[in-house]
Amino acid sequence: KNQVEQSPQSLIILEGKNCTLQCNYTVSPFSNLRWYKQDTGRGPVSLTIMTFSENTKSNGRYTATLDADTKQSSLHITASQLSDSASYICVVRGPSGGYQKVTFGIGTKLQVIP
């Protein structure tokens, strides 16, 4: 069964600090991996998307990395801000061609405190 596991489940950090969120997946074959940010009670917003041939992708203070061999991805947040408090969801797509199965992780809940 295809799975996407994220760690930690929750994280509290001080404003201005960096943090790294992890995503391990078993989806195979693999098409692409996307990280979303979801504010409480709001819809997820895409941060980055990477295909199997990409190792890293940045979006401002967010940098995602991907190791397709070990099936691991990470999302690094630099110089955190209070507005970074949210859930971060890792989503992996299955094989290319036709409909592609999408598997969601449960997410990491990040809280940035002053």
Partner 1 sequence: EAQVTQNPRYLITVTGKKLTVTCSQNMNHEYMSWYRQDPGLGLRQIYYSMNVEVTDKGDVPEGYKVSRKEKRNFPLILESPSPNQTSLYFCASSLRQGAGMSQGTEAFFGQGTRLTVV
43 binds partner 1 per the rule CB under 8 A: yes
What three-state secondary structure class fits 20? strand
Which DSSP string do the residues of 39-67 spell out, in sequence order?
A: -TTS--EEEEEEETT--EEEETTEEEEEE
10 binds partner 1 (CB under 8 A): no
Residue 15 CB, nearest distance to partner 1 (Å)? 27
28, 42, 82, 111: which one binds partner 1 (CB under 8 A): 42
Cβ proximity to partner 1, 11 vs 78, nearer residue = 11
d(CA 106, CA 110): 13
- Give the pairing of strands 108-113 and 86-93: antiparallel
Indicate whether 99 belongs to the interface with partner 1 (CB under 8 A).
Answer: yes
Q: Considering only residues 51-70, where is the footprint of partner 1 by CB under 8 A?
A: 51
Pairing relationship of beta strands 62-67 and 56-59 according to DSSP bridges: antiparallel
39 Cβ contact list (under 8 Å, min separation 6): 86
Q: Does residue 93 bind partner 1 (CB under 8 A)? A: yes
Question: What is the smallest separation between the CB atom of 16 and partner 1, expressed in angstroms?
Answer: 29
* Binding residues vs partner 1 (CB under 8 A): 31-32, 34, 41-46, 49, 51, 89, 91, 93, 96-97, 99-100, 102, 104-107
